[in-house]
Amino acid sequence: MTTELFVHGEVASALRDGHPVVALESTILSHGLPHPRNLDVAHRLEQVVRAGGAVPATIAVLDGRPVIGLSPAELERVCRPGAGLDKLSLRDLGPAVGLGRSGATTVAGTSALAARAGIGVFATGGLGGVHLGAAQSWDVSADLGVLAKVPTVVVCSGVKSVLDIAATLEVLETNSVPVLGYRTDEFPAFYLRSSGHPVAWRVDDAKEAAAVIAAHRAYADSGVLLTNPIPEESEMDRALHDRLLADGLAKLREDGVHGSDVTPVLLEHFHTASGGVSIDANEALVLNNAKLATEVAVALAARED
Ligand code: PSU
Ligand code: MN
């Protein structure tokens, strides 16, 4: 067994030369999007990062080895139906590596590995958060705890309204994680551009975001959350959204789903019950986040500090 990271050659040389690198997670591919769309999205995410002038590094654990920057064959493996990949949060990395397993990494798992590799900017779709009813279930995603202690920048479209958004924002505040709205004053709700909850800080371009991130680094070891609303033309109809949400929550209760299965089961419900509308929305927002993350990584690399 080795706990060493396997950093793909292209990623390693970019890091060595101070060129911008953007980390991408794999749970959204293996557990969040259906095949073969997931592979298409995986390729397009990497293309968006390259087109913006950075090197993409999709992250997963394969056969007990944390891989930073999946090869085309590895990307295909992660997206393959029935690949049997576990969903790996930070608590799962030790067991997966120690036992020689394979799994896709969540925001928590990806951020932790990316930071170890020296990659500070990471793009995803939605962040995990405080689940509705958490006062009883204690279901609070480890994504929040990792943002509290890992110096990462997570670019996402907020959290889904299947979560308790107000409580999620409180936990981020408690953990000294600045939440930035990109060209918005309101925290986005994934399929919808706004949750109705204000963000504390707003930035209007990547340069401003980079200035905030660089300054934050001087005072704190926590991460930064840069929230980017779904593009207007891809926003989901609110009535459809509300119906899917109510039905999805009822299904969770009926089927007794809990723990790490909650998010994948809800996503699957959204995808089938909307006839694919939610998949289009998901794809549009994650590509848009990869584009912004790339701009921020480029702006950070261009700074002198
Ligand atoms: N939200 C999404 N799509 C996703 C996830 C969240 O819209 O694919 C995934 C991410 O990998 C996130 C994880 O880090 O679910 C959070 O899961 P949990 O709530 O079990 O921590
Ligand atoms: Mn959970």
- Residue 178 and residue 162: Cα distance in Å, rounded? 22
pLDDT over 70 percentage in the chain = 99
Query: What is the number of the ligand closest to the CA of 258?
Result: 2
Please say whether the beta carbons of 11 and 68 come within 8 A: yes
- Residue 124 and residue 114: Cα distance in Å, rounded? 13
pLDDT band, very low/low/confident/very high, at 244 (cuts 50, 70, 90): very high
How many angstroms from the chain centroid is the CA of residue 293? 11
Nearest residue (CA) to ligand 1, atom 2: 126
Task: Determine the average pLDDT of the residues in 211-228.
Answer: 98
What is the structure's pLDDT at 28?
Answer: 94
Atom of ligand 1 nearest to the CA of 160: 7
Q: To test the ligand 1 pocket, which listed residue (263, 267, 279) has its Cβ within 8 A of the most ligand atoms?
A: 263
Please say whether the beta carbons of 113 and 103 come within 8 A: no
Any atom of ligand 1 within 6 Å of the Cβ of 142: yes
pLDDT band, very low/low/confident/very high, at 259 (cuts 50, 70, 90): confident
Task: Determine the average pLDDT of the residues in 21-50.
Answer: 96
Please say whether the beta carbons of 281 and 235 come within 8 A: yes
pLDDT at 305 over 80: no
The ipTM estimated for the assembled molecules is 0.95
Please say whether the beta carbons of 51 and 7 come within 8 A: no
- Residue 150 and residue 203: Cα distance in Å, rounded? 22
Instruction: Please name the residues in contact with 169: beta carbons below 8 A apart, sequence gap of 6 or more.
Output: 179, 187, 197
pLDDT at 158 over 90: yes
Any atom of ligand 1 within 6 Å of the Cβ of 158: no
Residue 245 has phi, psi (to 5 degrees) of -65, -45
Atom of ligand 1 nearest to the CA of 142: 21
**Average pLDDT score, the chain:** 96
- Is 207 annotated to bind a ligand? Reply is no
Query: What is the number of the ligand closest to the CA of 30?
Result: 1
Any atom of ligand 1 within 6 Å of the Cβ of 228: no
What is the structure's pLDDT at 71?
Answer: 98
